[in-house]
Amino acid sequence: MLQVPAASVLEADERGIPVGAGPVEATGVDFREARPIGTTRLDHCFTGLERDKDGRARVTVDRTTLWADASYPYLMIFTGDGLPDVERRSLAVEPMTCAPNAFVSGDGLILLEPGESHAAAWGIVPPR
Protein backbone atom coordinates (compact mmCIF):
# COMPACT_ATOMS: atom_id res chain seq x y z
CA MET A 1 0.00 0.00 0.00
CA LEU A 2 1.33 3.41 -0.97
CA GLN A 3 0.05 6.90 -0.17
CA VAL A 4 1.75 9.97 -1.68
CA PRO A 5 0.22 13.39 -0.87
CA ALA A 6 1.03 14.95 -4.25
CA ALA A 7 -1.25 16.76 -6.67
CA SER A 8 1.25 16.87 -9.56
CA VAL A 9 3.81 14.62 -11.19
CA LEU A 10 6.65 15.67 -13.45
CA GLU A 11 6.49 14.26 -16.95
CA ALA A 12 9.87 13.00 -18.12
CA ASP A 13 11.45 12.08 -21.43
CA GLU A 14 13.09 8.72 -22.14
CA ARG A 15 16.22 9.87 -20.26
CA GLY A 16 14.23 10.82 -17.14
CA ILE A 17 14.61 14.56 -17.70
CA PRO A 18 11.48 16.56 -16.77
CA VAL A 19 9.67 18.10 -19.72
CA GLY A 20 6.52 19.31 -17.95
CA ALA A 21 4.11 18.61 -15.13
CA GLY A 22 0.58 17.36 -14.91
CA PRO A 23 -2.09 16.43 -12.39
CA VAL A 24 -1.65 12.97 -10.88
CA GLU A 25 -5.24 11.99 -11.66
CA ALA A 26 -4.49 12.22 -15.40
CA THR A 27 -1.42 9.96 -15.27
CA GLY A 28 -2.37 6.73 -13.50
CA VAL A 29 -0.01 7.49 -10.60
CA ASP A 30 -2.53 9.09 -8.26
CA PHE A 31 -1.65 7.76 -4.82
CA ARG A 32 -3.26 10.55 -2.76
CA GLU A 33 -5.46 7.86 -1.26
CA ALA A 34 -3.62 4.75 -0.07
CA ARG A 35 -3.80 1.95 -2.64
CA PRO A 36 -1.78 -1.08 -3.71
CA ILE A 37 1.15 -0.38 -6.01
CA GLY A 38 0.50 -3.64 -7.84
CA THR A 39 2.25 -3.72 -11.22
CA THR A 40 2.49 0.08 -11.47
CA ARG A 41 6.02 1.03 -12.55
CA LEU A 42 7.20 4.12 -10.72
CA ASP A 43 10.19 6.28 -11.56
CA HIS A 44 8.36 9.55 -10.97
CA CYS A 45 9.00 12.86 -9.30
CA PHE A 46 5.94 14.16 -7.45
CA THR A 47 5.30 17.75 -6.42
CA GLY A 48 2.41 19.96 -5.29
CA LEU A 49 2.71 18.23 -1.93
CA GLU A 50 -0.10 18.46 0.58
CA ARG A 51 1.24 19.15 4.05
CA ASP A 52 -0.12 18.64 7.53
CA LYS A 53 -0.50 21.47 10.06
CA ASP A 54 3.14 20.93 11.08
CA GLY A 55 4.29 21.68 7.50
CA ARG A 56 5.34 18.11 6.80
CA ALA A 57 4.42 16.01 3.79
CA ARG A 58 3.99 12.33 4.67
CA VAL A 59 4.44 9.33 2.38
CA THR A 60 3.19 6.04 3.76
CA VAL A 61 4.36 2.64 2.53
CA ASP A 62 2.31 -0.03 4.24
CA ARG A 63 2.49 1.29 7.82
CA THR A 64 5.88 3.02 7.60
CA THR A 65 5.87 6.79 7.11
CA LEU A 66 8.53 9.05 5.65
CA TRP A 67 7.99 12.73 6.47
CA ALA A 68 9.69 15.73 4.90
CA ASP A 69 9.58 19.36 5.98
CA ALA A 70 8.72 22.28 3.69
CA SER A 71 12.33 22.43 2.43
CA TYR A 72 11.46 19.43 0.26
CA PRO A 73 8.91 20.34 -2.46
CA TYR A 74 9.62 17.15 -4.47
CA LEU A 75 9.42 13.41 -3.81
CA MET A 76 11.02 10.82 -6.08
CA ILE A 77 9.32 7.41 -5.96
CA PHE A 78 11.04 4.46 -7.69
CA THR A 79 10.03 0.79 -7.88
CA GLY A 80 13.33 -0.32 -9.42
CA ASP A 81 11.73 -1.80 -12.53
CA GLY A 82 14.12 -1.93 -15.45
CA LEU A 83 17.32 -2.23 -13.42
CA PRO A 84 19.51 -5.08 -14.64
CA ASP A 85 19.28 -8.30 -12.64
CA VAL A 86 16.86 -6.77 -10.15
CA GLU A 87 13.51 -8.24 -9.26
CA ARG A 88 11.16 -5.74 -7.66
CA ARG A 89 11.19 -6.21 -3.92
CA SER A 90 11.39 -2.70 -2.53
CA LEU A 91 10.40 0.90 -3.08
CA ALA A 92 12.66 3.96 -2.94
CA VAL A 93 11.19 7.19 -1.56
CA GLU A 94 13.50 10.18 -1.83
CA PRO A 95 12.60 13.66 -0.59
CA MET A 96 14.24 16.22 -2.88
CA THR A 97 14.86 19.95 -2.50
CA CYS A 98 14.95 20.41 -6.28
CA ALA A 99 13.59 18.78 -9.41
CA PRO A 100 15.62 16.26 -11.39
CA ASN A 101 18.04 18.03 -13.77
CA ALA A 102 17.95 21.17 -11.61
CA PHE A 103 21.57 22.02 -12.41
CA VAL A 104 20.35 22.69 -15.95
CA SER A 105 16.74 23.87 -15.40
CA GLY A 106 17.20 25.69 -12.09
CA ASP A 107 13.86 24.26 -10.84
CA GLY A 108 14.10 24.37 -7.07
CA LEU A 109 17.87 24.75 -7.11
CA ILE A 110 19.22 26.25 -3.90
CA LEU A 111 22.24 28.49 -4.44
CA LEU A 112 24.37 29.33 -1.44
CA GLU A 113 26.91 32.11 -1.28
CA PRO A 114 30.04 31.64 0.82
CA GLY A 115 29.11 31.63 4.49
CA GLU A 116 25.41 30.88 3.84
CA SER A 117 23.75 27.66 4.95
CA HIS A 118 20.60 25.68 4.28
CA ALA A 119 18.81 23.32 6.65
CA ALA A 120 16.21 20.70 5.89
CA ALA A 121 14.75 17.81 7.86
CA TRP A 122 13.12 14.49 7.10
CA GLY A 123 12.57 11.30 9.04
CA ILE A 124 11.07 7.84 9.10
CA VAL A 125 8.40 6.64 11.50
CA PRO A 126 8.25 2.82 11.74
CA PRO A 127 4.99 0.95 12.26
CA ARG A 128 3.71 0.82 15.83
Model pLDDT for residues 27-76, shown as the tens digit of each residue: 889 999 999 999 899 999 999 999 999 999 999 999 999 999 999 999 99
Q: What letters, b where the CB count within 10 A reaches 16 and e where it falls short, cover 71-104?
A: ebbbbbbbbeeeeeeeeeeeeebebbebbbbbee
Model pLDDT for residues 84-103, shown as the tens digit of each residue: 777 777 899 999 999 999 99
CA pair distance 11, 47, nearest whole angstrom: 11
Q: Which architecture characterizes domain 2-125 according to CATH?
A: Distorted Sandwich (2.70)
CA pair distance 38, 85, nearest whole angstrom: 20
